[in-house]
Structure 1
């Protein structure tokens, strides 16, 4: 059963405040979420030494964050639609900041993993609220919305690469605890900005109830799917625990859609997929998330383990790719806003695939400028072009009262795609690297990474094919 969405406040910003201010706050909040998904990667060896983490526990430092982040997306998005952008964003900032402080002070694995799980819950609220704020603040001007969303998307995507840079620099200079502490001053500043700059939500009429059964099934289903995908990299796709996680995800998904069809106040109003391009845009976001996460994971891993770069050098080596991602916003934002870049995702997918194919020949001792910088710039520029198109597709024509729902769906698709992409890339690299019969370990590692880069290039090309499904503007 469908229902009427709650009314949107007449104004989100305090009178006299410019739209760029809310865009800046939203971009910083989203940047923090994405950066925290990668900043701990290069700090894991230092965490292991300091806290005595077991080998299997290291992976859970990452997975605990991803599980709660992916599992709570839809719930956080719908809560923002029902109860207001400001309170959800404030709660998200408070959880994220306090959990970051607790993770930095952790004295053992239980405290660290619990803090990372709570951090993921706060991150889900930030991830959905940040896009929602941009959409709500610019709903009166389609071109302003396109420009703001392109900036949000560029910084959001560049955050993963910047996380590797920051993680390497902070770990070597100040220690691993500062990859957590760095969130605290930013979170406090954002909480003050939100309290000052955003109006409290208006309450007109009866407020809808939150669909708790739907929230339970969606959260458990997303968490089971992310868990199954992330564990496949270590256990293999045929492992009973992996198959059980994927089966549980399918069962929860079926229960979720059954509940949503009958609910008077659905968490996801299924009629929202009648909006032109929303379904295709979310499929594109899923494949894009897989390509982006797999690309950065493989670049970081191949440079550290296959070539021998240290954490700091790896982070600095990835910096041009992050800058290229952000630069695409300046190059194509105007064309996207004017509806003159219909083939942009096709070209972007081809450019990305070309860069990834180039990396299939990465040598054991590469010349950085000739054999690393070139393909990374291609990957960064191509992904930046696709990201602009995917973000516009999932937000075009969405009414303000459904901004949170659209944001939650898009972010969920991207997080699930990212987990799937990394798992597939890691599995491919491991299977080839350990079974290729290479004469030494470094050659075997590089052979595995070459094969994984090829697989990711195919993923990139599939982004272009999916984009042809998008309606023409």
Structure 2
């Protein structure tokens, strides 16, 4: 049964899937294009990494704010606004003539994605009633999200080699246009609020500042190191702001994040699980890409094509997870999926400097991709189980913040560990040792994700997030039962 009869559920799902694919794609699509960007725009070596980092910084910093804003001001409004900002920023990046212009455009993309991403998940939870229909819709959302990150490497390699690096940015324009057209065709308009509830400005400032400083401190470790005063000062300031955020939210009449939401084992468990699994997934993409190019000597396009078996396996795992979760609970898919992904990455950790795609990459890609699909497809359903419609954006912002933080922290930490193992050597054998260690630790992170699924997630769907405030009339969509 659908919760909203005014919209066209199939079109809502299509619009959300297209938009989320673009957001996820941009997390990895620029990686292969970085050398071409450096040559064309004259980036300094240390500045080039900000093309990647600034997107993660703004996306991670504004996700909680975007999630609450879509609850207060309308999911469709925030979705359209976020897409518009994302599309215009992509155009600006494609036309950039100087390094600062490209970095500013990437920051704009992050802000737009932070508005659109929570709205995508919130629109699904308010369109599809809890049960098999919602599980399938959220499975599509999660599968597309994971596939976008995986296919970003392929798209970046092909576009850079055959069309030029600017198309890494400009490719977003037709995708955004399609998502906006689908939105106009089938996503119901938000009801006009009878009264206006104020946004928690203090909470927004503390959360955005705290998460932003956390991401900043971690992503700068490539230049400053984990033990440097700059890194520690940034991380301590982040901890202070986030502590102040928790205290402020416990007293706010309309909090950015209702702390009672975390009493739900579904919400808390899914957020922890997605943190560990995304940390392992992002790091695996990074090390596998470097292994293919710097150890095996493959071209950018060939490297992208090498990820196709992973992407195909991920889609297969997502389809299987959606069927299993619709009949049972997300936990049924999450536990074996995390263990399978860990097994695949453990196999991947046996890479050799004298190996090849067929001997060292293909098998681990298939096993890991299937496991990741089994994990990523049902995690959104787990994170929104028992959530009231007027808090769907809040729950989405929390889960997506956990996803983004996991990816940033995991990649930065494992890249540091791999670099320490490699040292100053640049031979294929030395690089191989560092990448193998990073892949082994990524496998361990999926074991932690499985432990969370086993120990925290309930066996039944019945649990709800505790006492929930009643939904204000202006937060209910037309046709949505109160």
Range into which the TM-score falls when normalised by the shorter chain: over 0.9
Count of matched residue pairs: 458
Aligned match of 1:82: 72
Matched, 1:391 2:380: yes
**Equivalent residue, structure 1, for 2:85:** 95
Q: Is the 8 A contact 1:275 1:398 kept in 2?
A: no
Partner of 1:70: 60
Cα distance, 1:341 vs structure 2: 6.4
Query: How big is each residue's C-alpha offset from its partner over 1:273-318, in whole Å with a ceiling of 9 and x where there is no partner?
Result: 2334211111111111111111111111111112211111110001
For residue 342 of structure 1, report the CA deviation from its aligned partner. Answer: 3.7
User: Contact 2:321 / 2:373 at 8 angstroms: preserved in 1?
Assistant: no
Other-structure match for 2:150: 161
Q: 2:124 aligns with which of 108, 111, 134?
A: 134
Q: Does 263-272 or 32-41 show the bigger shift?
A: 263-272
Determine which of 396, 408, 429 is the counterpart of 1:443. Answer: 429
Query: With structure 1 as the length reference, what TM-score do the two structures score?
Result: 0.93
Post-superposition offset of 1:13:
6.5
- Measured against aligned partners, the alpha-carbon deviations of 1:54-91 in whole angstroms (never above 9, x if no partner) come to 10111000111111000000111111000111110111
Segments ≥4 residues shifted beyond 4 Å: 10-13
Which whole-Å deviations, capped at 9, do the CAs of 1:384-412 have from their partners, x for residues lacking one? 11223422221111111111011000000
Partners of 1:371 and 1:204 lie apart in 2 by 57
1:214 aligned residue:
203
Task: Rate the CA distance shift 1:141–1:216 in 2: closer, same or farther, 3 A.
Answer: closer
* 1:382-421 matched pairs, under 5 angstroms: 382-421=371-410
- Structure 2 distance, partners of 1:299, 1:12, is 43
Q: Which moved more, 1:227-236 or 1:77-86?
A: 227-236
Q: Which residue of 2 aligns with 1:30?
A: 20
Cα distance in 2, alignment partners of residues 12 and 93 from structure 1: 23
Higher alpha-carbon deviation: 277-286 or 64-73: 277-286
Using the TM superposition, give the Cα deviation of residue 371 of structure 1 relative to its aligned residue in structure 2, in angstroms.
2.1
CA drift of 1:203 comes to 3.1
Contact 1:13/1:199 (<8 A) preserved: no
**SS in structure 1 of the partner of residue 27 of structure 2:** helix
Q: Is 1:260 the equivalent of 2:260?
A: no
**Equivalent in the alignment of 1:434:** 423
Q: In 1, Cα distance between the equivalents of 2:109 and 2:144?
A: 20
Report deviation, 1:204: 4.6
Distance 1:173 1:36 in 2: 19
Aligned runs of 1:92-131 on 2, under 5 Å?
92-131=82-121
Cα drift, residue 133 of structure 1: 1.4
1:305 is matched with which residue?
A: 294
Q: More deviation in 129-138 or 64-73?
A: 129-138
Measured in 1, the distance between the counterparts of 2:240 and 2:346 equals: 38
Deviations 1:298-339 (A, max 9, x none): 111111112211111110001111121111122231221121
- CA drift of 1:343 comes to 4.2
- Structure 1 segment 170-185 matched on structure 2, within 5 A: 170-185=159-174
Q: Would the alpha carbon gap of residues 91 and 355 (structure 1) be closer, same or farther in structure 2, given more than 3 Å must change?
A: same
Taking structure 2 as the reference length, the TM-score comes to 0.92
Query: CA offset at residue 356 of structure 1?
Result: 1.3
Are 2:92 and 2:105, in contact at CA under 8 Å, matched by a contact in 1?
yes
- Aligned equivalents of 2:377 and 2:24: distance in 1? 17
State the match for 1:470 in structure 2.
457
- Higher mean alpha-carbon deviation, 383-392 vs 402-411, is at 383-392
- SS of the aligned residue for 1:37 comes to coil
Q: Which residue in 2 is equivalent to 1:189?
A: 178
Report the alpha carbon displacement of residue 340 of structure 1 after superposing the two structures with TM. 5.6
- Structure 1: distance between partners of 2:207 and 2:85: 21
* Equivalent residue number for residue 453 of structure 1: 439
What runs of 5+ residues in structure 2 fail to find an aligned partner?
A: 461-482
The answer as to whether partners of 1:12 and 1:198 remain within 8 angstroms in 2 is: no
Give the root-mean-square deviation of aligned CA atoms.
Answer: 1.6
Q: Distance in 2 between matches of 1:223 and 1:12?
A: 36
Alignment-derived partner of residue 475 in structure 2: none
Which has the higher mean CA deviation after the structures are superposed, 35-44 or 20-29? 20-29
Tell me what 2:30 maps to: 40
Distance in 1 (alpha carbons) for counterparts of 2:187 and 2:62: 24
CA contact (8 A) 2:15 2:180 kept: no
CA distance in 2, matches of 1:465, 1:169: 38
CA distance in 2 between partners of 1:87 and 1:390 (Å): 25
- In 2, are the aligned partners of 1:322 and 1:380 still within 8 Å (CA)? yes
Q: Which residue of 2 aligns with 1:146?
A: 135
Which of 27, 39, 42 is the matching residue for 1:52? 42
**Residues 26 and 152 in structure 1, CA contact (< 8 A), matched pair in contact too:** yes
